[in-house]
Amino acid sequence: MDKQTLSFQAEVKQILHLVTHSLYSNKEIFLRELVSNASDACDKLRFEALDKAELYEDAPNLEIRVWFDEQARTITIRDNGIGMSAEEAVAHLGTIAKSGTREFMAKLEGDQKKDANLIGQFGVGFYSGFIVADRLTVETRRAGAAPGEGVRWSSEGSGDFEVETIERAQRGTDVILHLRDGEEEFLSAWKLKSIIGKYSDHISLPVLMPQQKWDEEKKEQVTTDQWEPVNKAAALWTRAKSDITDAQYQEFYKQISYDQEAPLAYTHNRVEGRTEYTQLLYVPAKAPFDLWNRDKRGGVKLYVKRVFIMDDAEALMPVYLRFVKGVIDSADLPLNVSRELLQESRDVKAIREGCTKRVLAMLEDVAQSDDPGQKDKYAEFWRQFGQVLKEGIGEDHANRERLSKLYRFASTQADEGVSFEDYVKRMKEGQEAIYYVTADTLSTAKNSPQLEIFRKKGIEVLLLIDRVDEWMLSHLYEFDGKPLTSVAKGGVDLGQLQDEEEKKAADAVAEAFKPVLERLKAALKDRAKDVRTTARLVDSAACIVVDDGDMSAHLARMLKQAGQTAPKSLPILEVNPEHALVKRLDGDARFDDLAQILFDQALLAEGGQLEDPAAYVQRVTRLLTPQG
């Protein structure tokens, strides 16, 4: 192929513009990104060579070499990994395969830090070379291709790049950075070594640099033609726990997650038994931007006997733990395992169960810690990931109880952080149920009329305001033997919390009220399946409840918003016989208007929408207008 000039994809141009103009801090990470790509390329070769050994050609030892040339002002990163064909070079280095570019740019534009660290997170690490270089040259040859099929790719990092065919004897890739003016600090063996030590120590292949030697005559360090490893070259998780520092664990986390924040917790174990594996798992402190992306797979990498098999091995973690990052290295799975096979493997099932338990244990440690710092961390974790963890209740029966203990809610006592255990400890004497109300927002929940009697009696009510709460409730019926009971469903039966006298008084009022109730029922016959008096209300005139077996109004609304049809069942209107408005109903000439208004207001108070808001406004206006 003759030399061709091609244009970068529009997204790449935008990224490049930002990279070259905006990233001032942590410039050194370009080396981490390029070494990481070199390491990925070697992993890919090892994987493809599993059933095609000839791909190793005559160089079976995979390695990465890094060197610099002071005169030419270049740094070169060489790997003998899989390499790229011309088509691959054009596709991989000229376009962006992954989604998330826009989020990346938004983050960069919003973030004052302008931290180069961000770049790896979005699958655009290669372009970080342009932070320090004003030209990148890539020379590469795909493993197995003829020497005449080498490729040179080159760009100044603005609008376009060049590609041409070259002769290249060795397989793999050289990335050559032509440094910008002012970036001379990277032309130093010591500097490069220290960056590699900092970011790439755990890379499982040797990263080699030319050995430096003291020259007695010249009185300076000179570069020899001996190559020496500058990293430990043992995959971090294969090393003994006692040999790994906290800082190394943290750095490894950053490398695999591209999260700048320290993880909430991590766990590293060798598991022996029916199936043997090593797990190094991290729980992040902050949610990634794509947590809610349904297509997103898990964050766990699968290795088999230290050979990288696949990223995002979702079969290894339940969906509700999709935020967990880390590595699982199995001693038993076959090296040619596929995603399909993973789904069916009994070993994988055992690994998933083991890892799930580990992750829950990590979370429990943080949640139950007496250390206020840890408690705050858990609160933050819950804000970030609580909704995802709630999905687990339907997905993971075996761990239902452990999960429910990790859950936190708002309640009438605290705006957040209330666990079922806290609630149970605070239950009143004689209280048998855990009470909750569901609503769209905290303030709707808090002001819900159904809470009035509970407030009066000092009984705590959980305020469930997450979208997933209704789903959670369809799988979780009780905690610690105490039923979860909606304050907006069925009759209020406060059990022993209501004394005999109160019950008797309530019955008497209901009896006396019968004629009015009959008229209300008639007036509202298309809207309410029943109208009854209640002891639930203290300050409000009326509220809406549903029958025990019926879907809550909140859930019905959510289904409707999601475009699904909710089964149509009429709610029940409950009225407060002590309320002045209700008392005056009897004998009022505007009975029908008042009945409709009572119903509409009860619906509004509970976060519902009126079917005919104009009619409501007209009725209220009529009421407010002085009669001639």
- Mark 28-67 with x for binding to ligand ADP (rule: CB under 6 A) and - for no binding: -----x---xx-xx--------------------------
Does 516 participate in binding ligand ADP (rule CB under 6 A)? no
10-22 vs 101-110: helix axis angle to the nearest 10?
30
Pairing of β 172-179 and β 160-166:
unpaired
Name which of 44 and 375 has its Cβ closer to Mg ion. Answer: 44
Q: Give the whole-angstrom CA distance, residue 475 versus residue 52.
A: 49
Q: Give the whole-angstrom CA distance, residue 300 versus residue 478.
A: 33
Q: How far is the CB of 4 from ligand ADP (least distance, A)?
A: 18
Q: How far is the CB of 82 from ligand ADP (least distance, A)?
A: 6
Pairing of β 572-575 and β 530-533:
parallel
Name which of 290 and 432 has its Cβ closer to Mg ion. Answer: 290
Select from 206, 356, 345 the least CA-distant residue to 279: 356
41, interface contact from Mg ion, ligand ADP, none, CB < 5-8 Å by kind:
ligand ADP
201, interface contact from Mg ion, ligand ADP, none, CB < 5-8 Å by kind:
none
38, interface contact from Mg ion, ligand ADP, none, CB < 5-8 Å by kind:
ligand ADP
Total number of residues binding ligand ADP (CB under 6 A)? Answer: 17
Q: How far is the CB of 173 from ligand ADP (least distance, A)?
A: 4
The DSSP code for 8 is: P
Q: Report, in this order, helix, strand and coil percent for the chain, each rounded to 5.
A: 45, 20, 35
The burial class, CB within 10 Å (0-12 / 13-18 / 19+), for 172 is: buried
Name which of 126 and 277 has its Cβ closer to ligand ADP. Answer: 126
Using DSSP, how many helices (H) and how many strands (E) does the chain show?
21, 22
Q: Give the whole-angstrom CA distance, residue 296 versus residue 289.
A: 11
Does 108 participate in binding ligand ADP (rule CB under 6 A)? no
From 123-131, 199-207, 316-324, 403-411, span contacting Mg ion (CB under 5 A) = 123-131
Q: How far is the CB of 87 from ligand ADP (least distance, A)?
A: 12
Name which of 37 and 596 has its Cβ closer to Mg ion. Answer: 37
368 close to 422: Cβ distance less than 8 angstroms:
no
Which residue from 125, 263, 288, 577 is in contact with Mg ion, where contact means CB under 5 A?
Answer: 125
Structure-derived torsion over alpha carbons of residues 17, 19, 22, 26, reported in degrees to the nearest 10: -170
297 close to 318: Cβ distance less than 8 angstroms:
no
Q: How far is the CB of 33 from ligand ADP (least distance, A)?
A: 6
Tokens at residue 124, please? 């655009």
Q: How far is the CB of 84 from ligand ADP (least distance, A)?
A: 5
**C-alpha gyration radius of the chain:** 33
The DSSP code for 409 is: B
Name which of 220 and 295 has its Cβ closer to ligand ADP. Answer: 295
The H or E element that residue 385 is part of is helix 372-395
Does 126 participate in binding ligand ADP (rule CB under 6 A)? yes
Which residue from 17, 73, 92, 306 is in contact with ligand ADP, where contact means CB under 6 A?
Answer: 92
Does 81 participate in binding ligand ADP (rule CB under 6 A)? yes
Q: Give the whole-angstrom CA distance, residue 558 versus residue 75.
A: 57
Q: How far is the CB of 81 from ligand ADP (least distance, A)?
A: 5
Q: Give the whole-angstrom CA distance, residue 347 versus residue 223.
A: 50
Does 144 participate in binding Mg ion (rule CB under 5 A)? no
Does 37 participate in binding Mg ion (rule CB under 5 A)? yes
- Mark 370-389 with x for binding to ligand ADP (rule: CB under 6 A) and - for no binding: --------------------
Select from 466, 461, 507, 457 the least CA-distant residue to 485: 461
Strand 478-479: give its sheet, edge to edge: 410-411, 462-464, 434-438, 482-486, 478-479
Does 39 participate in binding Mg ion (rule CB under 5 A)? no
Q: What are phi and psi of 599, to 5 degrees?
A: -65, -45
Which residue from 12, 82, 203, 556 is in contact with ligand ADP, where contact means CB under 6 A?
Answer: 82
From 7-15, 120-128, 476-484, 539-547, span contacting ligand ADP (CB under 6 A) = 120-128
Tokens at residue 276, please? 């043997």
Which residue from 93, 208, 309, 439 is in contact with ligand ADP, where contact means CB under 6 A?
Answer: 93
From 123-131, 219-227, 469-477, 572-580, span contacting ligand ADP (CB under 6 A) = 123-131
Which residues make up the interface to Mg ion (CB under 5 A)?
37, 125
Site residues for ligand ADP per CB under 6 A: 33, 37-38, 40-41, 79, 81-84, 92-93, 123-126, 173
